């Protein structure tokens, strides 16, 4: 928590600093209130005890004077007038044991009330402060992810545009041999594809997020759709010569799903594995039945991630690491899309890794066709 | 001998295009695709200028520039990046970048800027006609060693401070505007804030640093602040820090 506070404070964006100042002031005020209330209650308890003691002292002095006046009727009068007092042996007057017990019980019950109310009040303050802190932290994380997305999108868009513009200028202004011109045109074609891919991905994301998920769902052979999606990617992936793609599928597994969206899930997961795999790395795709689920696993031998990062990988615009030292392309939408699509199919997503540099496994589960009605 | 340019760019297509164009212009080019490789290449001292991307694997362009400058290396660095915000531009220049171009750029403009940097570097290296030691308000400024001998002892100067003094000395007796200094010392034709000089090297502060403050008088003339530095006839420099409105 302290680290988060320190990082947020160092954040140059002033609105967040202001939020943290307000958060700190409210927290301090709540803690001060709680402390003041505790001190007040403690003093109040002591005041009640000392008032009772001084009241008894006054009663004892009055009773001592009366003893001389009343003589033999004194005991009866004492019982009627001051029920908390009694005559002790040797003629002394003292506070009865039962009265002291009642006072102790009163003090004890006040203390219990004080502790339970204090604990409740303290818990309330703590929950409020923690809730505020979480909200603030979430707001900062969203802001950070959005700025990462903007930086990544800007980079991803500008890089092919820069290359295209430069090659266009070069072709226009320089006399080059035909083979060099052909080489440049090939580079430009690759850049155009890259640009087109990015725009397609952004549009797909928009479609997935706005479309009604149920309308396109049908009874689908998931095994077949998975194989189809992977086959489409095999050519592109193995063309690079850097990766090997292996698929192991149980056939005949059906689910109630949108086939195009399911293919998008498979492609995004394989794409993600390709991005983070080392040259020569093997990517394995498994599809199998697990109890009432169809489970798709994509396993790579790539960079992996720290275990505490697993839950954040599926967040929108989340990109692991520092944007200035990025080694992979992308804008932080792929895994988010996977999660959204799978959730719309009443499924679930998981990411596992034994740590950085130790590969990763992404698992998607959707209910088998027969299970949908019971889900 | 052709000038040697180090291209630090992780996108192979862009690096290839840059290399082709710059070599066609007569420069010698070497390409490095990551930040750590760039630091090593710059440390080898075999290059005259660095074209530096910011988003790089290993170490960012900012890290590379900071590291190089902290080692006292004054090799000209031109940032060539997709990061186009003012924050990034200011950060790049404050870390010691000599210029900053955002992608997508015109290759012609890039070549012009590279040539301008080389011209400026040449001017930086040139020794004034009367030698590399400048007499100024009783102090001696060594433009080659970036040091000043003052009445109260030696003082270290930055490269930019030295170059401002050099420019003032070259233009002795004439008006030197803010734009003149930006163009000649920084080489910018566009910068997020024209307060650059005041923020980094205010002339009065430089003169104070070299203990020539007693030779300065500041006068205001109709919203125009004029620093008149005079060593009673030995050296007379006039320096406008603010261009008066209506004067072109």
Given B100, B125, B150, the domain boundary residue is B125
B153 and B223 in a single domain? The answer is yes
Q: Which residue of A159, A164, A173 is in closest CB contact with B82?
A: A159
What CATH number is associated with residue B200?
A: 1.10.10.10
A129 and A12 in a single domain? The answer is yes
B137 and B222 in a single domain? The answer is yes
The pLDDT of residue A238 is 63
What value does the mean pLDDT take over residues A123-128? Answer: 87
- Residue A141 CA: distances (Å) to CA of A16, A18, A316, B84: 11, 16, 11, 23
What CATH number is associated with residue A166?
A: 1.10.287.130
A133 and A161 in a single domain? The answer is no
Lowest mean pLDDT among A146-150, A316-320, B170-174, B229-233: B229-233
What value does the mean pLDDT take over residues A102-108? Answer: 87
How much is the ipTM here? 0.72
- Distance in Å, alpha carbon of B108 to nearest chain A alpha carbon: 9
A198 and A236 in a single domain? The answer is no
Residue ranges making up the domain that contains B216: 133-240
What value does the mean pLDDT take over residues A147-151? Answer: 79
Instruction: State whether the Cα torsion A102-A107-A113-A115 is positive or negative.
Output: negative
- Contact between B82 and A158 using a beta-carbon 8 Å cutoff: yes
A59 and A155 in a single domain? The answer is no
- Distance in Å, alpha carbon of B161 to nearest chain A alpha carbon: 29
- Distance in Å, alpha carbon of B111 to nearest chain A alpha carbon: 12
A143 and A161 in a single domain? The answer is no
A112 and A156 in a single domain? The answer is no
What share of chain A in percent tops pLDDT 90?
10
Q: Is pLDDT at A282 greater than 60 in this prediction?
A: yes
What CATH number is associated with residue A273?
A: 3.30.565.10
Residue ranges making up the domain that contains A161: 148-210
B76 and B174 in a single domain? The answer is no
Identify whether B245 is part of a domain. Answer: no
- Contact between A155 and B59 using a beta-carbon 8 Å cutoff: no
DSSP A374: G
Identify whether B233 is part of a domain. Answer: yes
Residues 151-170 of A with CB under 8 A from B: 151, 154-155, 158-167, 169-170
B23 and B110 in a single domain? The answer is yes
Which residue in chain B is spatially nearest to A321 when comparing CA positions? B57
Identify whether B74 is part of a domain. Answer: yes
Given B74, B99, B125, the domain boundary residue is B125
Q: How confident is the model at residue A2 (pLDDT cuts 50, 70, 90)?
A: low
Identify whether B197 is part of a domain. Answer: yes
- Contact between A162 and B103 using a beta-carbon 8 Å cutoff: yes
Q: Which residue of A169, A187, A324 is in closest CB contact with B107?
A: A169
pLDDT tens-digit series, residues B195-245: 555 566 566 566 666 655 454 443 434 444 444 444 433 344 444 444 434
pLDDT tens-digit series, residues A153-175: 888 889 999 999 999 999 998 88
Mean pLDDT of chain A: 82
Longest Cα–Cα distance in chain B: 60
Task: For residue B58, report the phi and psi dihedrals to the nearest 5 degrees.
Answer: 90, -70
pLDDT tens-digit series, residues A27-75: 888 888 888 988 888 888 888 889 998 999 998 888 888 877 777 777 7
Dump the DSSP string for A212-252: -TTTT-EEEEHHHHHHHHHHHHHHHHHHHTSEEEEEEE-S-
Identify whether B209 is part of a domain. Answer: yes
pLDDT tens-digit series, residues B44-75: 999 999 999 998 888 899 999 999 999 988 89
Given B103, B125, B147, the domain boundary residue is B125
Which residue in chain B is spatially nearest to A157 when comparing CA positions? B82
Instruction: State whether the Cα torsion A366-A369-A373-A374 is positive or negative.
Output: negative
Identify whether B246 is part of a domain. Answer: no
Mean pLDDT of chain B: 76
What CATH number is associated with residue B24?
A: 3.40.50.2300
B184 and B217 in a single domain? The answer is yes
Burial of B111 (0-12, 13-18, 19+ CB in 10 A): middle
Identify whether B248 is part of a domain. Answer: no
B89 and B170 in a single domain? The answer is no
- Contact between A170 and B58 using a beta-carbon 8 Å cutoff: no
Q: Is pLDDT at A192 greater than 90 in this prediction?
A: yes
Residues in chain A: 375
Q: Which residue of A154, A158, A191 is in closest CB contact with B13?
A: A191
Q: Which residue of B24, B60, B107 is in closest CB contact with A325?
A: B60
What value does the mean pLDDT take over residues A262-283? Answer: 84
Instruction: State whether the Cα torsion B91-B95-B100-B103 is positive or negative.
Output: negative
B120 and B173 in a single domain? The answer is no
Number of domains in chain B: 2
Q: Is pLDDT at B99 greater than 90 in this prediction?
A: no
Identify whether B247 is part of a domain. Answer: no
B200 and B90 in a single domain? The answer is no
Neighbours of B112 (CB within 10 A): 11
The pLDDT of residue A213 is 58
Dump the DSSP string for B120-131: HHHHHHPPPTT-
- Residue B107 CA: distances (Å) to CA of A79, A188, A354: 110, 16, 46
A159 and A228 in a single domain? The answer is no
The pLDDT of residue B208 is 63
A224 and A201 in a single domain? The answer is no
A222 and A282 in a single domain? The answer is yes
Q: Which residues of A touch B60 (CB under 8 A)?
A: 322, 324-325
Task: Return d(Cα A19, Cα A23) in angstroms, integer.
Answer: 6
- Contact between B55 and A324 using a beta-carbon 8 Å cutoff: yes
CB neighbour list of residue A266: distance below 8 Å, 6 or more residues apart: A225, A226, A229, A230, A285, A296, A298
B64 and B137 in a single domain? The answer is no
A172 and A101 in a single domain? The answer is no
Number of domains in chain A: 3
A90 and A236 in a single domain? The answer is no
Tell whether A171 is within 8 A of chain B (Cβ).
no
The pLDDT of residue B236 is 41
Q: Which residue of B11, B60, B104 is in closest CB contact with A165?
A: B104
Greater model confidence, B44 or B125: B44
The pLDDT of residue B226 is 45
Greater model confidence, A308 or A99: A99
What share of chain A in percent tops pLDDT 70?
87
pLDDT tens-digit series, residues B110-119: 999 999 899 8
Given A194, A210, A226, the domain boundary residue is A210
The pLDDT of residue B51 is 96
Q: How many pairs of residues across A and B have Cβ atoms under 8 Å apart?
A: 78
Tell whether B234 is within 8 A of chain A (Cβ).
no
Given A147, A164, A199, the domain boundary residue is A147
Q: How confident is the model at residue A374 (pLDDT cuts 50, 70, 90)?
A: very low
pLDDT tens-digit series, residues B159-183: 777 887 788 777 766 667 767 777 7
Q: Which residue of B20, B56, B62 is in closest CB contact with A170?
A: B20
Q: Is pLDDT at A350 greater than 70 in this prediction?
A: yes
B236 and B138 in a single domain? The answer is yes
SS3 (DSSP) at B65: helix
Which residue in chain A is spatially nearest to B82 when comparing CA positions? A155
A274 and A163 in a single domain? The answer is no
B174 and B155 in a single domain? The answer is yes
Question: For residue B52, which of B41, B242, A53, B44 has the smallest C-alpha distance?
Answer: B41
Tell whether A328 is within 8 A of chain B (Cβ).
no
């Amino acid at each position: 928590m302290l680290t988060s506070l320190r990082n947020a404070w160092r954040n140059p964006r002033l609105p967040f600093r202001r939020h943290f100042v307000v958060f700190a002031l409210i927290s301090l005020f709540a803690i001060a209130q709680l402390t003041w209330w505790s001190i007040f209650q403690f003093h109040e308890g002591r005041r009640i005890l000392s008032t009772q003691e001084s009241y008894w002292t006054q009663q004892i002095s009055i009773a001592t004077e009366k003893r001389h006046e009343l003589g033999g009727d004194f005991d009866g009068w004492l019982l009627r007038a001051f029920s908390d007092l009694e005559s002790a042996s040797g003629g002394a007057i003292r506070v009865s044991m039962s009265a002291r017990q009642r006072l102790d019980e009163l003090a004890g019950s006040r203390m219990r009330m004080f502790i339970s109310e204090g604990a409740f009040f303290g818990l309330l303050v703590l929950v409020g402060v923690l809730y505020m802190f979480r909200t603030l932290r979430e707001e900062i994380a969203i802001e950070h992810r959005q700025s990462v997305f903007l930086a990544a999108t800007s980079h991803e868009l500008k890089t092919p545009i820069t290359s295209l513009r430069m090659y266009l200028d070069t072709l226009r202004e320089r006399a080059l041999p035909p083979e060099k011109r052909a080489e440049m045109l090939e580079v430009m074609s690759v850049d155009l594809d890259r640009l087109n891919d990015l725009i397609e991905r952004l549009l797909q994301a928009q479609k997935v997020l706005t479309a009604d998920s149920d309308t396109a769902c049908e009874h689908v052979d998931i095994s077949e759709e998975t194989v189809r999606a992977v086959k489409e990617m095999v050519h592109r992936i193995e063309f690079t010569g850097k990766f090997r793609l292996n698929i192991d599928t149980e056939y005949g597994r059906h689910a109630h799903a949108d086939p195009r969206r399911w293919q998008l899930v498979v492609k995004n997961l394989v794409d993600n594995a390709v991005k983070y795999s080392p040259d020569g790395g093997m990517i394995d795709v498994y599809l199998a039945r697990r109890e009432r689920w169809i489970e798709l696993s994509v396993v790579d031998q790539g960079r992996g991630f720290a275990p505490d990062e697993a839950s954040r990988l599926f967040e929108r615009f989340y990109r692991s690491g520092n944007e200035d030292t990025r080694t992979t392309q992308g804008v932080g939408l792929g895994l988010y899309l996977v999660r959204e699509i799978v959730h719309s199919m009443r499924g679930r997503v998981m990411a596992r890794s034994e740590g950085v540099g130790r590969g990763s496994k992404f698992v998607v589960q959707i209910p088998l066709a027969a299970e949908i009605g019971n889900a | 001998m052709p000038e040697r340019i180090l291209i630090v760019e992780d996108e192979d297509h862009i690096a290839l295009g840059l290399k082709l164009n710059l070599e066609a212009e007569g420069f010698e080019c070497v390409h490095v695709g990551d930040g750590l490789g760039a630091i090593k290449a710059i440390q080898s001292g075999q290059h005259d200028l660095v074209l530096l991307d910011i988003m790089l694997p290993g170490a960012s362009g900012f890290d590379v520039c900071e590291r190089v400058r902290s080692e006292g290396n004054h090799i000209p660095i031109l940032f060539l990046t997709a990061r186009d915000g003012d924050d990034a531009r200011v950060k790049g220049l404050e870390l010691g970048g000599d210029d900053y171009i955002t992608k997508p750029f015109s290759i012609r403009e890039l070549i012009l800027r590279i040539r301008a940097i080389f011209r400026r570097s040449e001017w930086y290296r040139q020794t004034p006609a009367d030698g590399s030691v400048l007499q100024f308000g009783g102090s001696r400024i060594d433009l080659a060693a970036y040091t000043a001998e003052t009445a109260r002892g030696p003082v270290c100067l930055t490269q930019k401070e030295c170059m401002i003094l050099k420019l003032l000395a070259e233009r002795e007796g004439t008006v030197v505007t803010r734009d003149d200094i930006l163009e000649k010392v920084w080489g910018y034709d566009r910068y997020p804030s024209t307060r650059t000089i005041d923020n980094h090297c205010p002339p009065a502060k430089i003169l104070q640093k070299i203990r020539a403050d007693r030779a300065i008088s500041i006068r205001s003339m109709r919203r125009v602040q004029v620093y008149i530095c005079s060593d009673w006839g030995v050296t007379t420099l006039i320096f406008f820090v603010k261009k008066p409105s209506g004067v072109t």
